[in-house]
Structure formats: C-alpha cells, structure tokens
Structure 1
Amino acid sequence: MFAGLARFVVRHPWWTIVAWLAAAVVIIAFSPKLTTESDQGEFLPSGYESVQAVELETDAFPQQAEASSLIVVQRSDGGQITPQDTAKITEAAKTLTAEKDEYPTVQGFITSPELVAPNKSIQLITVPMEMATGAEAQEQSQAIKDLREKLPEVLGGNLEAKVGGDIAMFVDNEDSFTQSFLLITVATFALIIGLILLIFRAPLAAILPIIVIIVTEQLSMGLIGSASKLLDFSGDDSLQIILTIVLFGVGADYYLFVLFRYRELLRAGVERKEALIRAVERVGEVITSAAAAIAATFIVLMLASFGIFAAWGPSLAIGVVVMGITSLTVFPALLSILGTAVFWPSKAWKKEPKGTVSTKLGGLVGKRPAIVALAAAAVMIALSTGVLGFKSNYDFQSSFPQDTESAMAMKDMEKGFPAGQTRPVKVMFESTDGQPLTKAELDAFGAEAKSLPGVGGVAPAELGQDPKVGRVNLLLDGNPVSNESINLVKDELNPAVHDLAPEGTKAYVGGEAAIYADINKVVNRDLSVILPVAGVLIAVILLLLLRSVVAPLYLVPAVLLGYAATLGSAVFVFQGLLGEPGEIFHLPIMLYLFVLAIGTDYNILMTARLREEAKQGHAPRKAAALAVQHGGPTVAAAGLILAGTFSVMLLASVSMLQQMGFSIALGIALSAFVMSIFLVPGVTALLGERAWWPGRAGPKEPPAGSADPAEEQYAPSGTRS
C-alpha cells in the first residue's frame, strides 16, 4: 500500500500538489466556521445541580445582566466614606448612567447605601453589562478603558476609584495573553526553522514545513467547521491555539521522519527518486500508525461529559488525520520536485558522520540495556510519586499579574466586604407544592444560612418573575474559587443548604464555586474513562503495527508512566517548590493531549525502527544500538522542537501558562529522551525476539557469513533461532 502511494506521489508530484491545493481551496472557501463558547458552565451536562440552578435563574430573572464590572470607590486619604461622599458617589453613578450610551454594552451604573461597606472603607458601584463577542468585545474593552479615564472627573478630588470584575480583568490581561501567544507562535517558527537549519544546514528544508503546516491548519479548520454542524458541537476560545500547537507539533515530527530517512538512504548511495520512494514506504506505516494513535486518543475525548473536552476530540483528530495525509503526499511531492536541492547549500547529506552522540548512546543501550532501562524506569517512577499530592486550582484570577487595576480593585473590595461579594453562591429555590414563595421565608432561610461554615454574609432574598422561584446569595468569607471554598461548597454548604430549605421548596446550589465543584466531578470522571480506553486503543494500534502481542504490554504502560511522571513533576515544582495552591484544573487533560497523545509518536517511531533492525537479522542488542543510532536524531530533533516551543511559555507573565509550558515541555522531553531513547530500546533488547511474539522479527536463517564484526561486542540477549 505505502509502496504504491510512494511511487505515485514521487513520480507525479505536480498532480499531487495541484489536487491537494484544489481540495484546500474548496474546503476553506465553502466550509462553515466553528462556533465557540467562553462560559465554562455551558459545557457541563444538564444533569448537574449548578447547571440546573443557572437555568432556573435565567428563566426567573430574565432582566439580570449577562456580565458585570465593579467600581470600587474609596477616599484618597484612606478615611471612612462619609454621607457627603455617598451622595457624591450616587450622583456620579447617575451621571454615568445618563451617558451610558458612550460605553457600549453597559446597561447602567448602580449604587446604594447598602453598597457602602459596614466599616465605611469603600463604596461599590455595580456596572451590569451585556455579554459581548467579536467586534462588540473590542468595543466593550474600550468602554472599560474610557470609563477609567472618566471616573476622576465625575468623582472629584477626594475620591479615587478602581474598576474590577471579570470584564475588567480580561481587559487588563488581554495584552499579557496576546504577548504570550505571539511569543509562542514566533518561538515555534524560530525553533522549527532554527533546529532544522542546525541539523541540515539548509534554508529550504527549514522553511518548507512552516508553509505546508499553515495551509494544512486552514484546511483542517474548514473540515472541523463542517464536522461541528454534522456532530452538533461547539468549541471554546482555546481550541484554535491548541490545534495550532498540535499541528505544528505532529507536522514537524512527520516531516522530520521523512526527511531523516530520505537523507539516510541518500547517504547509502540510493538514487534520489528511489531513495524518496523507499523513505515514504518505510516511514509511511510509522506515520499512519502514529497519526492513528494520536487521532484515536483524541477521539476518545468524545466520551467525556465535559463539553469542552468532547469538542476538542473530533476537532483535533481531524487535524491530525489531515496532517498525516499531508505528510505522506505533499511533503514527498515537494521533496520529489526539489530533490537534493532541499539540502542546499550543505554537502553534509552526502556522507555519514562518524562518532556521533546518537552512535555513542546506541552503543550504551546495546551494551548495558538492563542498567539503562532500570535507570530510566527509576527516574520515571520517582517523578510519578508526585501525583499523590495533586490538587486542582480553579482560581484563574490569581494566575494573572496582581499589579493590574482589576486585581487591586478586588483587594480593595475585600477591605470592606466578604471575598465572595462579586462571586456569590447562588441558592435558587423552587416551589414544590404549587404555592408562591414569600420573601419572609427566604429571608428566614438567609438568617439561618449566616451561621453556616464559610459564609461571611447573606444578600437580601429576591423573588423571581415567576413567584414560585426565588434566590438568596450567600457571600463566602474566603476566595470563592479556591480549592478550600470549592470543597466547602461541595462537601458542607450544599448538604446544609438542602437541609435548611423552607418546607415545600427545592433548593439548587449554583454560582462559580458550585460550577467548579461540578467541573471537578466531571473532569475526574472523564479522566477515569478516557485514560483506560486510550490505553487500549494505543495497544491495538501498536499490535497492528508491530504484529506483536508482547510489545504493547510494555509500551502502553511506558506511555502511561510518562504521563504520570509529567504530572508528578508539575506537583513537585509548583505545589512543592513554588508553594502554589494547586495545578490549573485542566492541566491533566492538557498533558493527555500533548504528552500522552503526541508523545506516542516517538515510541512508535523507535519501536518500528527496533523491529526493522531486528528484521534485518541483527541480534537484539545490536538492533537496539542501531535503532537508537539512526532513530535517535529524528526523535531528539522532533522532541526538541516541541519541548522548546512549550518551554517558551515560562517567559509568560501568566502563571497558568507557566505551569502548562513547564509541564508539557518536560513531558515531551521525558517521552522523547528518556522513554524512546533509553527505556523502550533497553527493555526491547532485554526481551530479545520475545518482544515480537507471536511474530518473528528476524529472518528464519541468520545472514550468510559473519555478521558485522562490530556485532560481537554486544552480548546475546533474549532467544534466537
């Protein structure tokens, strides 16, 4: 199959490229765009209590704002807010409301004596706003900036104000995100171009994959948009970024798989067209298996209950499959047209270097496979123990710089109000006996709720548009999205609220803390389903690739061990060394995407090379040495590009990105260098031909005459026939 494909693509490169470009133009031009959601709660299954609370609130209070900001006002001299100050602040709110048309998406400015802190340190002005996307979101951001310039004018000299809340936080940190992602994009290009230049000393070879991957990404987005309509899913704002990283990661990997094997065959004296055909034929099965393994692990995400993960699954799988097809068609077609000119101006492709690092590492693995395998496994197991201390962190705000106006506004607010003032636990009540609710019974509930653990205050009860529905907001003492608060809501507050619910009513606990508590349940459930199923699918793909029952039995545990070692390392560094309260809650799934899925590439390449060398008749240890010698540079280059890309995120000012960057970079490095170059070849050398059972890796009869004299330095291992 791959031989026929290779011959067609190499002998008819222009037909291949024209057909691919025509398909790309049609798909990009006529495919629908993927719709996105930004609210995490939108992705929870409807059966969860926090979602039911949101739905009940939306129906009962249709007039409530979709989003809001908060103005925190205090005296410039640090004194208490006086009645005269309150009058001035109230007048300023009226003035701003009269001019609200100048601030797109703003619905008004609201303050009252109840919004003066009990200790008189501050007074609040709430700013209800419409939820905005696209161009409207840009206008909303500008409205926050304009408001900040206007406040000193309307408040006068003895009062100062800061604008906070989720919208203001987004405005303050938009530049941080933009700069971070720009940095990642530039670093990705620089690393791919720079590393390929370093390896091949050929500008054309370095630029070629960038152009192809960019076009492939646009083609993939078109197909993803069509799939979203067919399968009825929507993505979140991060999907485009994740897809870009995935495609550049696997695209660079597969390009290097082809290019390294092409150069190896050219050095062996094979004619250039024939060398390219053989290169595509030999790595075709590897690329197909690797793409299938990654796509399968992504497809498994469709089993997730959390909507974000379920949407990522088919989207990323489509991207990887398209990239796999591109790697076996467009890359070879371009190389067929360019020929050895792709390596210009370097002449190094003509000769095999002596005494390289990969040769020495191969020699080490071949001579001491047991020591190498045990050392690699010991490192991975030691790092994996950190998983036992893993804690999730849902506080996105704390991961942003704390010197912004929105962050300082929240700190000022906590001088006079509970930390949960802007993110209350929203307790919704619904009548179960058909009778309307009364404000008196809800206030009675609120009075009792004040004594519940973690509750710092209770807002006045509200009746909905439907009098059979009401709401009481509980204000938490602590950070409402900290692990402590989320666990408090889940384990103590939720049961207590249900116990205190007025007779004839049913309570629903909502709000951010409750939503994150439910997300915690969903993510834990999803990982418990996804990891085992992905492991089984990877094992099946390895079985088909290697025709072996034994090899998947140690390769799949090695992949899972790499995942655990990466997560454990993050715990040691961020929770242990840096004292962070936890890891960002979606880090485990990010590691699943980039370490477990993409890291499988390197194991598949190395294992396929091990089997290929064994089929040539080499003894197990010699096969391991040669596999590391020839496959090691490919794995190392691909791993360096991907790990280097993520490591650049350490320069970001957002700690969430730093956690992701460090963890994923380390995970890729462990997959590429520890597992693929040491652990897997070492174990395979120790097992010998048993690794390929029930198949036979080598020929039935040993090669005629004496094998390579160098082979004698490797002691026999495993069984030979």
Structure 2
Amino acid sequence: MATFLYRLGHTAFRRRWSVLLVWTAVLVAVGAGAAMAPAAKDDGSFMPGIEAQKAFDLMEERFPGTHSSGADARIVFVAPDGQRITAADNRAVIDDLVDGVRGGAQVDRVVSPFQADTVSKDASTAYATVSYKVAADDLTETTKKSLESAIDVAREQGMTVDVGGTALATQPAAGGAAEGMGIALAAVVLLITFGSMAAAGLPLLTAIIGVGISMASILALGSTFGLSMTTGTLATMLGLAVGIDYALFVVSRYREERAKGHAPHEAAGLAAGTAGSAVVFAGLTVVIALAGLTVVGVPMLSKMGLAAAGAVVVAVLIALTLVPALLGFWPNAVLSRKTRRSGKHDSSGEQHGGIPQNNGGTRWARFVLRRPIPVLLAGVAGLGALALPVTDLQMGMPGEESKSTSTTERRAYDALADGFGAGFNGPLTIVVDAKGAADPRSAVETVVREIGATDGVVSVSPAQFNSVGDTAMFSAVPATGPNDEATKELIHTIRAERSATESSTGTTFEVTGSTAMNIDVAQALQSALVPYLTVIVGLAFVLLLVVFRSVLVPVKAALGFLLSVLAALGSVVAVFQWGWGAELLGVEQAGPIMSLMPIFLVGIVFGLAMDYEVFLVARMREAYVHGDRPAQAVVTGFRHSARVVVAAALIMIAVFSAFIASADSMIKTIGFGLAIAVLFDAFVVRMALVPAVLALLGDRAWWLPRWLDRALPNIDVEGEALQSPPSTGLRHDKEMVRM
C-alpha cells in the first residue's frame, strides 16, 4: 500500500498538469450534467414494510387519483376576541377570501369551512382548504401572491388568518451560508496551524473542488436515482469536513518530510505513501459506516449515506492525486515562513522533521502516561454522565410545531390545536379492506364505531368508499398531540384490539397517517440499530485489525466510539428534547428527537471516530514498528500527530457547527450532534482515553496471535518499505529527480 501510494503521489507531483487537467475535466463534465439533468422526483415511499406505509400504498392502489401530489393550503381563521367565526361580518370576510382564491388558474378546488363543517365547537376557529393542480415548487409567483393578497385583505378587516400546508411553506435557506461559515472558520484554524496562507488555502481549495464534483454528480444523477438537494446535504457536510482534513494530513506530512531535507518530489511521494495510507483507511471506515446505512431499510437514509460515501471517496482521491499535483506547482509555498526565509529544512533546536521534541503533544502524552488511571476514570465518568439523558430518548419527526413562531405555519398549527384540540394536527387514518366482507358498508360502519369508542379517540369522520365499494378510509382524531406518549399508546391499543373486529366483520384494517408513520419508523429504526452496529463495527474491526495488526487496538477503538456517540446522543436529548440551552441554538420548540437521528449519528460518528483513531494511532504504530518502546511510541505519535489531529477536529467541529444556524430543524440537530460528537471523540476519547489505555496495556496493546499474523495481508501502512535502502530503486530512480 505505502509503495503504491508513494508512486502515485510522486507521479501526480511530476505529471501535475495532466492531473490538474483530468480533475478540471471531471468538474466540467459533472457540472454540465447537473445543469442539463431534470429535477429528481420523490417516489413517496419512506420506509417500505411498516404498517403505516403498507396502508398508504393500499390507499394509492384502491383510491387512484384521489390523493393529489399537488400543493395544498389550510387557511386558519380565528375570530376577534369575544366574537364568533359564524357572525355575519366574519362569515362575509371568509366567503370573500374563498371566492377570491377560487378563481386562480392553478387552483384545483377550494372548500369553505361552512361547506365542510370545519368550524370549532366554540365557533372561535375555522379553516378552509385549498388544493392546487401542481406541486408546491411549480406554483407561480402570481398564484402565491393571489393567496397572500386575499389573506392580507382578511387580516385588514380584523380577522386573524394564518396558513399551513405546502403552498406557502417557509423553506429553509438554500445551502451556501452554512458552508461559507464553515469554510471561514476552517481557514482560521488552518492558518493558525500552518502559519502559511498557501498551506492553509490548499486544503480549502481541494475540499471545495471535491464538494463541487460531489454535489454536481448528485444533481446529475438525481432524476435517475431519486437524489435531491436534501440528499446532498450530508454529502456537502462530510465532503467539506473530510476533504479539508485529508488534504491537511498530506500537506502536513509533506512539510515534515521537507523539513527532514527531502527534495520536493520525494517529500510528495513520502507524504502520499505514509499520510496517504492513513487517509485511505480512514476514508474506508467512513465509507463503511455510510454505506452501512443501506441495511436500515429507509430509502432516503440509504440515498443520503451512499451519496455521502461517494463524496468521501472523491475527497480521498483528491488528497492522493490533486494535492500532490498542486504541491508540484508551488513546492515551497506551503512551507512555514521561517523555513522559506532561512532556506534551511531543519530548524535549530528541532528534530524529527522540524517538529520540536517537547511540543504540546509530547507534554500532554507524558502527562497522561504518568496518570493513566485518573485520566481514564475521569474521561469515562464524564462521558458516562453526558450519556445519561439517552435513557429518556423519545423519537419522532419534526413538523410544523418545531418551526419558529414567526412563521405562519406554526401559528396555524397552534390555532388549530387551540380551536379543535391537541390531536387535530395529527389525525389517524384508518384504511379498511372490505373485500372479504359479505356487506362491506355495514362492516365498515362497525369498524368506525369500534374505533370511535376506543378510549383516547375524540371523534371519527364518516367513511369514504372507493368507486368499487370494497375499500374505505376514515380519520380518527386523538385526544392528545402527535408527539404525546398517550397517542403512541392509542395506536398500539387500536392495533392490538383489531383482531376481534376483523374476525366479526370479515375485514382487515390498518392505521396510517403522519403520527402512525412516525411511530412505526421509530420502532423500525430501533430494531435496525443492532444489525447496523454489528455490520459496521464488524467490518471496521477487520479493517483496523489489518491496519494495526493488533487485536486490542480495534477493540479499544470500538469501545471508545460507543462512549463518544452515547455522550453525543445524550447531549442532543438534553438540548433538543429537554430544552437545556435550546434558545441559545435557536431551537423554537423542544420535543422528540428526529427518528433518523440516533442511527444517523451512530453511522457518521463511527466513521469519523475511526478517522482520528487511524491518524493518531498509525503514527504510534509506525514508531513502535521502527523500534520505540510502547510508552515512547505513544509520545512519538503525539509529537507528530497531536497538533494536526487537533486542527482536523477543530475544522470538523467548525464545519458541522456552521449547520446549527440552519432554519431546518433536521439539519440543525444533525449539525449539533456531529459537532459535539467530534468534540468528545477527538479530545476526550482519542486524545485522553487512547493514550491512557495504551499506557496500561504496554506491549500487549500490539499483540497479535502468530497464526493471525501469518493470515493477515501485510499492507504496510507505516511505510516500512519506504525506509528500504536505495537498491530497491524506489527513492533513487533517475526519473524521480525530474520535476
């Protein structure tokens, strides 16, 4: 591996124009493909196999054309204090609004609250529904302005009017601001780390190119594979973070090799052969974690995982080829200012490639080695305490209740809850298959009565039959809100008691709706978590076993990951579910954690955790293989890697933290979870617990049974072959002296 990557890095350095032209051509090609590709279409299937999805699919089959994919608007009216919505003046205002909206070219139909009987019992609140012929993205500005103008007229006459649905939904700001903020923060970290504008700018430039290629590819393939901009959010987030980090490690090793006195072409080859090996295997662990999301069975999650995995692969390829090529154009620009001014490669008072013998990394490592047990206990206890909120984890999906109160959707949601009850915003949809019933209509009426009599159901709607008359659907409104535990229990009760009703009526029925869908998804994801963990931990264990040729190091890495991910998830629960400090992050409404978040966090954090494990421990393993005793190998590893690992972690934290500013609650939660997870894993687990455990294990940390040692392939991540004498021809080939 090291030899191959050495040659690859050297070739990229020497043939820099060719490499640059290839990557430029790739960027132009995928950019053109993205510009010409049609928009992706959603197939509407969130998680096949769960009951709520099966019921929805049955509705689509038995009620063809009934459930339009067009936009909708639910206009909510609240009468002035002390008045009734049915008063003549208020009724006239509503009728004028409905008549004004009805004439729109894209409007399919408008239903007045007085026609549909959608007036609250106390007559304080009512709502009208507007259905459009086209999807929300296809609504013209004229159509939107027409609706907004009609609403403004009603408000001017003293009526409180807000609108929910998709027609005027507030869309989160498009990508760009978060990425820009993350890049700016990363630039500051890189500049402080390297003390060189060129060294700081090169990782940023290559990372931006990688993200550009990845996002353009996602857009180009969007219509074919159903990839959307939401799918690409994770690819952008991770592609930017790992792209900067991987280039950072190669550039840092290049500077180190130059400081040892190596020529530029030689330093580029050695950087690719050593740091590049770590990049390859770190990238593989991230790809394994992301690709493993496909075992969960959620199409959206699978697409996000595979798209992000593709972005990581692009970042690895760029770090191994484009970075050495750009170093070939400016071989001295990335060196420190001191080195460029003096013209000397080995600063006085510094050894081992210009790295001080007693830098911050060595001092910290020696501190931990002197006190391994207290450091280990403190780290485990601290992360364990932060993980405690996980025991109260409640999962759901963010809806309009999670939006800011400044949005009309949130105000409409609250007004409906006040006027019609907490459960009105999360009705259950019951789909009855009456094909096996002797008298379908009578059988369906029995089902409606039984569910209406269930404790916790406040009302049921009349059943609506399909054209054939063998299938019906109706709504049941719970007494409690969509995210209330009582609503979850109600759904379980209806499903648990249906066997008797089905037997007596000859029908079958299923429960769906957004609330039921959220509950089913949460349960399915909880069931998928253990198989998912088994897959990614098992594959990564084998990978780390090959990389480090040790049994205990991969075990330690996996246990450290569990600590950091549980602590991160506990922090997410404390902030987004309990509301601790939520206002500081702009969280409008604390509530259940997004159902996808736990398994999503596990997968991404596992990949990133193994990143730091490979980057940090690979230098320790390299020192141990080259003769250092175990304790000294830890110190050597920290001397060479601590500063760069800290910088890499700070860059990832900066990139992920920038997404906390997003208006989208899902992106905000993911950004916070990933940022806090990297903080815990890099600074507590890898920088504190890892050296403490290695100090306690000593030589046993690198133990490997002889039979396993013979069976495992020797991939030479440490670059031992690159230390071979000149007769190998690797480092003294005449071709390699040409630049």
Secondary structure of the structure 2 residue equivalent to 1:92: helix
Helix, strand or coil for the counterpart of 2:173?
A: helix
Task: Return the alpha-carbon distance in structure 1 between the equivalents of residues 302 and 448 of structure 2.
Answer: 39
Match of 1:362 among 345, 360, 365: 365
CA contact (8 A) 1:121 1:416 kept: yes
CA distance in structure 1 between the aligned counterparts of 2:686 and 2:511, rounded to whole angstroms: 48
Aligned counterparts of 2:362 and 2:302: Cα–Cα separation in 1: 44
Counting aligned pairs with the same residue, the percent is: 25
**Matched-pair contact (CA < 8 Å) for 1:285–1:545:** no
Structure 1 position 217 matched with structure 2 position 211: yes
What's 1:633 paired with? 643
Is residue 484 of structure 1 aligned with residue 515 of structure 2?
no
Question: Is 2:257 the counterpart of 1:265?
Answer: yes
Counterpart of 2:729 in structure 1 is none
Asked if 1:99 corresponds to 2:100, the answer is no
Counterpart residue number, 1:75: 79
Q: Which moved more, 1:335-344 or 1:351-360?
A: 351-360
* 1:619 Cα deviation from its structure 2 partner: 1.4
Instruction: Please show how residues 511-660 of structure 1 align to structure 2 within 5 Å.
Output: 511-576=513-578, 578=580, 580-652=590-662, 656-660=666-670
Deviation track 1:419-451 (CA, whole Å, cap 9, x = no partner) reads 34354211111113265632x654454344333
Cα distance in 2, alignment partners of residues 436 and 144 from structure 1? 46
Shift, 1:512, TM fit:
0.8
Q: List per-residue Cα deviations over 1:276-333 (Å, max 9, x = no partner).
A: 2212111121111111111111121121211112222322222211211111110111
Structure 1 pair 485/54, CA: closer, same or farther in 2 (3 Å)? farther
Distance 1:271 1:105, change over 3 A: farther
2:418 counterpart SS class: coil
Does the C-alpha gap of structure 1 residues 396 and 416 become closer, same or farther in structure 2, counting only changes over 3 Å?
Answer: closer
CA distance in 2, matches of 1:70, 1:309: 30
Give, in angstroms, the shift of residue 485 of structure 1: 5.2
Q: Are residues 1:430 and 2:433 paired?
A: yes
Deviation at 1:259, TM superposition (A): 1.5
Q: Write the distance in 2 (CA, Å) between the matches of 1:49 and 1:289.
A: 40
Whole-Å separation in 2 of the counterparts to 1:145 and 1:599: 49
5 Å matches for 1:230-269? 233-269=225-261
Alignment partners' CA distance in 2, 1:569 and 1:44? 27
Match of 2:266 among 252, 274, 278: 274
- Where 2:78 maps in the other structure, the secondary structure is strand
1:193 aligns with 2:187: yes
Confirm whether residue 689 of structure 1 aligns to residue 699 of structure 2: yes
Task: Verify: 1:672 aligned to 2:682, yes or no.
Answer: yes
Q: Residues of 2 paired with 1:448 and 1:517: CA distance?
A: 22
Task: Give matches, 1:692-711, under 5 Å.
Answer: 692-694=702-704
Which residue number corresponds to residue 393 of structure 1? Answer: 396
Unaligned runs of 5+ in 2: 348-353, 583-589, 710-715, 721-739
Deviation at 1:472, TM superposition (A): 1.4
The one-letter code sitting in structure 2 at the alignment partner of 1:533 is V
The question of whether the paired residues in 2 share the 8 Å contact of 1:115 and 1:125 is answered with: yes
Q: CA deviation at 1:459?
A: 1.5
One-letter identity of the residue aligned with 1:209? P
State the alpha-carbon separation in 2 of the partners of residues 143 and 360 from structure 1. 66
- Superposition CA RMSD, Å: 3.1
TM-score, with normalisation over the residues of structure 2? 0.85
Give the Cα separation in 2 of the matches to 1:394 and 1:699.
Answer: 48
Question: Are positions 1:203 and 2:203 aligned together?
Answer: no
Partner of 1:467, secondary structure, is coil
After superposition, the C-alpha distances for 1:46-100 in whole angstroms (9 at most, x for unaligned) are x322122212222343234434221112333441123525752563255235422
Which amino acid is the alignment partner of residue 206 of structure 2?
V
Task: Summarize the Cα distance change of 1:497–1:110 in structure 2 as closer, same or farther, 3 Å threshold.
Answer: farther
Quick one: structure 1 residues 589 and 75, their matched pair in 2 at CA, closer, same or farther if it must change by over 3 Å? same
CA deviations over 1:537-568 (Å, ceiling 9, x no partner): 11111111112233212222222222222112
Cα distance in 1 for residues equivalent to 2:152 and 2:471 = 41
1:386 CA displacement: 3.2
Displacement of 1:581 in angstroms is 3.5
Among 8, 11, 16, the alignment partner of 1:13 is 16
The equivalent of 2:585 in structure 1 is none
Q: Secondary structure at the match of 1:108?
A: strand
| Aligned with residue 178 of structure 1, among 165, 173, 178 | 173
CA distance in 1, matches of 2:77, 2:367: 68
Per the alignment, in what secondary structure is the counterpart of residue 475 of structure 2?
strand
Q: How far apart, CA to CA, are the structure 2 residues paired with 1:499 and 1:85?
A: 51
Describe the SS at the equivalent of 1:269. Answer: coil
What secondary structure is seen at the aligned counterpart in 1 of 2:361? helix
Asked if the contact 1:81–1:123 (Cα under 8 Å) also holds between the matched residues in 2, the reply is: yes
Per-residue deviation, residues 375-428 of structure 1 (Å, max 9, x unmatched): 333333333333222221323323211232221222222333133435421111
Gaps of 5+ in 1: 701-721
Rounded to whole Å, the distance in 2 between the matches of 1:445 and 1:158 is 43
Q: Contact 2:544 / 2:554 at 8 angstroms: preserved in 1?
A: yes
Q: Distance in 2 between matches of 1:425 and 1:389?
A: 25
Change (3 A) 1:419 1:131: farther
The alpha carbon displacement at 1:148 in A equals 2.6
Partner SS, residue 472 of structure 1: strand
* Structure 1 SS opposite 2:45: helix
Conserved in 2, the CA contact under 8 Å of 1:200 and 1:346? Answer: no
Partner of 1:148: 148
| Cα separation, 2, equivalents of 1:639 and 1:522 | 33
Kindly indicate whether the alpha-carbon contact (under 8 Å) linking 1:165 and 1:422 is maintained by their aligned counterparts in 2.
Answer: no
Partner residue, 1:711: none
Show the 5 A alignment for 1:19-34.
19-30=22-33
The residue type equivalent to 2:571 in the other structure is S
Task: Report if aligned partners of 1:380, 1:562 keep a CA contact under 8 Å in 2.
Answer: yes
The residue type paired with residue 685 of structure 1 is: A
Taking a change above 3 Å as real, the CA distance of residues 321 and 76 of structure 1, as seen in their structure-2 partners, is same
CA–CA separation in structure 2 for the residues paired with 1:165 and 1:228: 25
Superposition map of 1:438-449 within 5 A: 438=441, 441-449=443-451
Which of these residues, 275, 278, 284, is aligned with residue 283 of structure 1? Answer: 275
Residue 109 of structure 1: how far off its partner (Å): 4.1
Instruction: Provide the secondary structure at the position in 1 that maps to 2:557.
Output: helix
Q: Distance in 2 between matches of 1:403 and 1:156?
A: 19
Q: Which amino acid aligns with 1:162?
A: D
Letter in structure 2 aligned against 1:147: L
User: How far apart are 1:143 and its partner, in Å?
Assistant: 3.8
**Distance in structure 2 (CA, Å) of the matches to 1:222 and 1:657:** 20
| Separation in structure 2 between the aligned mates of residue 274 and residue 638 of structure 1, nearest angstrom | 25
Q: CA deviation at 1:251?
A: 0.6
Deviations 1:122-159, CA, capped at 9 Å, x for gaps: 2221112346265x15x37x744541322343688354
- Per the TM alignment, residue 668 of structure 1 is displaced from its structure 2 partner at its CA by 0.3
Write the deviation string for residues 329-361 of structure 1: whole angstroms up to 9, x where unpaired. Answer: 101111122111134756488644755322321
Q: Which residue of 403, 407, 431 corresponds with 2:410?
A: 407
Residue 492 (structure 1) shift: 1.5
Tell me how far apart the structure 2 counterparts of residues 23 and 186 of structure 1 sit (CA, whole Å).
Answer: 23
**What is the CA–CA distance in structure 1 between the aligned matches of 2:327 and 2:719, rounded to whole Å?**
33
Residue aligned with 2:124, SS? coil
How many residues are matched?
A: 683
